[in-house]
Structure 1
Amino acid sequence: MTYQHDVFISYRRQELWTPWTRDHFKKLLKAYLQQELQIEPDIFVDERIQVGADWINALGEHLATSKVMVAIFSGDYFASDWCLHELDLMLARAQQAATGKPNYQPLVIPVVVHDGQFIPEIAKRIQPADMAKFRVAFINEATADYQEFSKAMGQLAPAIASAISKAPVFQDEWIAQYQERFDQLYQASLNNQHVEPLQFVAKRPTPPTVSPKLTF
């Protein structure tokens, strides 16, 4: 097999933020990245997993066959074992590709949309794009803020295109490795357990001991 996707978007699914990622972030990225690559880019978001598929194996294959990963670091990204291990696996690939070099190959492009206190030290070496002010629930395309968001995505696209051009030679064994990792995650989740990343120490948010109360 060979690469199937130029970009894999790693993000925490949530009722309001999933549409923002799929309908706005991905759309703008695709438009600007096409100008940089001069061909239509293939961008994977999890909505592309087909109904009836083994989604665990499918997720592993889609990540393994993606050249780079755009990680949307939200406030709850690091509370998701799936997000943590998507990041972990791609960082491992970057380290492997950078053998003999002092830093990582640019295979992970972080996009910070919320407080980054849980970002692992290894990922802090990578200069992120700050999109926090553009992550607005029910964002309206007919606003000045959306135009600024569009400009910011246009500025991000060249860095992603550069990373795509530097992707290492595809290795078939990645597929089985990634599928095995995600199967471990799935089995652990059935027992309410964690599988720790290998490239960094996870800084998971601490769940509140008391339910929050809203006062009016």
Structure 2
Amino acid sequence: MYEYHVFISYQRSSPTVPVWVRNHFYPRLRELMDDLVDYDVKIFLDDQVPVGGEWPELAREALRRARILIPVCSPKYFNDEWCMAEWRSMEKREALVGTGTREWPGRLIYPVIFSDSKNFPEFAHQRRMRSLKTWNLPYPHYQNTAEYIDFHREMERVVEELVEIISQVPEWCSEWPVEEAAPVLPKPSKLPRF
């Protein structure tokens, strides 16, 4: 059965994206969803994996048990093996349930733009995305600015759409596909070989 309503996918090695997700996107998403629905909202964020936990396996299982995927898109997101495995997994699930059909017109991937959508690959441009790049400042004190109210209002619109999408997600299937990320090979040494 489903365990999570949302799985947040983002490029973890970025100096700004993870900070923004933790400082702004995740907390606003969680509190606004909690205010809007009558169930306990469960959102998977990779920092919930306990120290010593088997991160790849726990993340794959969380993805299998998540209703929808929210990719936080930046140009490097689409070069990250883990991010692409998460995207492709949910894309395959959409294909299995026939997304965009009369029987089920919904979708399971809800992409948000963190930065620079011009350099996204063609397959990403085929999806409508919600741009949040106007509010992509990662700093905690950004919450104390007048502009942050606009971010909050935009997140309210995001949450209203997400709640509608979540309500239409098909029944859970134990066979939902989960793609594997290719192993990361060590970079070649820059030192000369003797």
Q: Normalization by structure 1: what TM-score?
A: 0.77
Q: Which residue of 2 aligns with 1:138?
A: 139
Q: Which residue of 2 aligns with 1:26?
A: 26
Paired letter, 1:171: C
- CA distance in structure 2 between the aligned counterparts of 1:126 and 1:36, rounded to whole angstroms: 26
Contact 1:4 1:66 in 2 (8 A): yes
Paired letter, 1:151: R
Query: How far off its partner does 1:52 sit?
Result: 1.5
Q: Which residue of 1 aligns with 2:11?
A: 12
- Same amino acid, percent of matched pairs: 26
Paired letter, 1:66: A
Three-state SS of the structure 2 residue aligned to 1:76 is helix
For 1:198-209, list aligned pairs within 5 A: none
- CA distance in structure 2 between the aligned counterparts of 1:77 and 1:134, rounded to whole angstroms: 18
Distance 1:99 1:31, change over 3 A: closer
Query: How far off its partner does 1:104 sit?
Result: 6.6
For 1:168-179, list aligned pairs within 5 A: 168-174=170-176, 177-178=177-178
Q: Does 1:94 align with 2:94?
A: yes
Q: Which residue of 1 aligns with 2:82?
A: 82
Q: Deviations over 1:134-192 (max 9, x none)?
A: 00131521101211111110111111111111112111123xx42xx32x523xx2367
Paired letter, 1:162: E
Query: How far off its partner does 1:53 sit?
Result: 1.6
Contact 1:94 1:104 in 2 (8 A): no
Q: Which residue of 2 aligns with 1:49?
A: 49
Paired letter, 2:182: L
Q: Which residue of 2 aligns with 1:113?
A: 114
Q: Normalization by structure 2: what TM-score?
A: 0.85
Three-state SS of the structure 1 residue aligned to 2:69 is strand
- CA distance in structure 2 between the aligned counterparts of 1:69 and 1:170, rounded to whole angstroms: 14
Contact 2:2 2:65 in 1 (8 A): yes
Q: Deviations over 1:11-63 (max 9, x none)?
A: 11123321210221011011211233223311111001111121111111011
Query: How far off its partner does 1:116 sit?
Result: 1.7
Query: How far off its partner does 1:110 sit?
Result: 0.8
Q: Which residue of 2 aligns with 1:157?
A: 159
Contact 2:100 2:107 in 1 (8 A): no
Contact 1:97 1:105 in 2 (8 A): no
Three-state SS of the structure 1 residue aligned to 2:5 is strand
Q: 2:182 aligns with which of 185, 190, 197?
A: 185
Contact 2:33 2:159 in 1 (8 A): yes
Q: CA RMSD in A?
A: 2.2
Three-state SS of the structure 1 residue aligned to 2:143 is coil
Structure 1 unaligned spans of 5+: 193-216
Structure 2 unaligned spans of 5+: 188-194
Three-state SS of the structure 1 residue aligned to 2:6 is strand
Q: Which residue of 2 aligns with 1:199?
A: none
- CA distance in structure 1 between the aligned counterparts of 2:167 and 2:123, rounded to whole angstroms: 23
- CA distance in structure 2 between the aligned counterparts of 1:156 and 1:86, rounded to whole angstroms: 21
Distance 1:132 1:100, change over 3 A: closer
- CA distance in structure 2 between the aligned counterparts of 1:75 and 1:153, rounded to whole angstroms: 22
Contact 2:73 2:115 in 1 (8 A): yes
